[in-house]
């Protein structure tokens, strides 16, 4: 049983990683993602697949149909009230799955200096981290990593792209086990 659980965990981790590596569609789906309606772009596609135990597809999981990206205003690290339920759901999931690990990847839009944007991305990741801890997640379940403006979700050079680039992504299973 233990071996099975481990296998399941690895499978889950791998699928989740694949899910995050797939690009987010540029238009419609990303907008849905922000509205919080439906599954959102981040949770559709490769990692879905109806694998039992996928917390994003398991109706009994706090992460069921949850987003795994939250967005920020310009030069701000404040989690919006719209995104708080998402962060809260991730916190509850971590609290009830002590073996699960998450890396919070912080990002910024391309404006301004690269190093300041690294700091800003970290502030965003830390803001999310605090909320996860408040939901009962343990500190050792959470890592933060800021990429600043280096890994944009969208390539454009205007607010249409920037709004999707100022973000924190939840990447499960990539922290040290």
Partner 1 sequence: MFMNSIRGIFRDKKQKCNFSFSLFPGHVKDRERAVYSYTARMSLIRGVLIGIASLLLPLGSATAAPLTINIEKGIEGAQPIAIVPFGSEGAPAPQDIASIVASDLQRSGRFAPLAERDLLARPHRAVEVNFADWRALGTDNLVVGNVRPIGPGQYEVQFELFDVFKGSQLTGYRFTSGAQELRTVAHQISDIIYETLTGQPGAFNTRIAYVTAAGSKRGRTFSLQVADSDGYNPQTILTSKQPILSPAWSPDGTRLAYLSFENNRQQIFVQDIASGRRDLVASYPGLNGAPAFAPDGRRLAMTLSKDGNPEIYVLNLASKALTRLTTNPAIDTEPNWSPDGSSLVFTSDRGGRPQLYRMAASGGNAQRMTFEGDYNAKGVFSPDGDMLAMIQGQGNTYRIAVQDLKSGEVRIVSDRSLDESPSFAPNGSMILYATNEGSQGELAAISVDGRVRQSLVLQEGDVREAVWSPFGQKLTVNSIFNQTNLNQP
Helix residue ranges, H only, the chain: 2-21, 28-35, 40-43, 84-96, 114-134, 159-165
How many binding residues for partner 1 (CB under 8 A)?
28
For partner 1, the binding residues in 62-91 under the rule CB under 8 A are 75
Nearest to 108 by CA among 121, 126, 127, 122: 121
Contact 102, 94 (CB under 8 A): yes
Q: Which of 118, 127, 131, 142 binds partner 1 (CB under 8 A)?
A: 118
- By beta-carbon proximity to partner 1, the closer residue of 35 and 140 is 140
| Residue 119 interacting with partner 1 (CB under 8 A) | yes
Give the whole-angstrom CA distance, residue 156 versus residue 116. Answer: 20
| Least gap, CB of 75 to partner 1 (angstroms) | 7
Q: Which of 13, 123, 141, 163 binds partner 1 (CB under 8 A)?
A: 123
Sheet with 102-107: strands ordered across: 69-71, 167-172, 102-107, 142-148
Q: Which of 64, 88, 96, 110 binds partner 1 (CB under 8 A)?
A: 110
Q: Which of 16, 89, 94, 120 binds partner 1 (CB under 8 A)?
A: 120
| Residue 19 interacting with partner 1 (CB under 8 A) | no
106: β partners:
146, 168
- Applying CB under 8 A, the residues found at the interface with partner 1 are 21, 23, 75, 110-116, 118-120, 122-123, 126, 144-148, 150-152, 155, 157, 159, 174
């Amino acid at each position: 049983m233990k071996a099975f659980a481990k296998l399941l965990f690895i499978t889950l981790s791998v699928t989740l990683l694949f899910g995050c590596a797939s690009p987010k569609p540029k238009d419609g789906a990303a907008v849905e993602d922000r509205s919080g309606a439906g599954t959102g772009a981040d949770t559709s596609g490769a990692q879905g697949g109806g694998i039992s135990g996928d917390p994003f597809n398991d109706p009994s999981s706090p992460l069921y149909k949850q987003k795994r990206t939250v967005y920020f205003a310009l030069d701000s690290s404040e989690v919006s009230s719209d995104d708080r339920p998402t962060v809260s759901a991730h916190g509850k999931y971590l609290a009830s799955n002590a073996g699960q690990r998450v890396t919070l990847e912080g990002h910024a839009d391309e404006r301004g200096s690269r190093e300041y944007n690294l700091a800003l991305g970290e502030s965003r990741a830390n803001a999310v981290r605090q909320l996860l801890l408040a939901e009962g997640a343990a500190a050792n379940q959470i890592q933060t990593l800021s990429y600043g403006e280096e890994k944009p979700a969208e390539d454009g050079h205007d607010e249409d792209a920037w709004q999707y680039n100022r973000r924190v992504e939840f990447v499960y299973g990539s922290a040290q086990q």
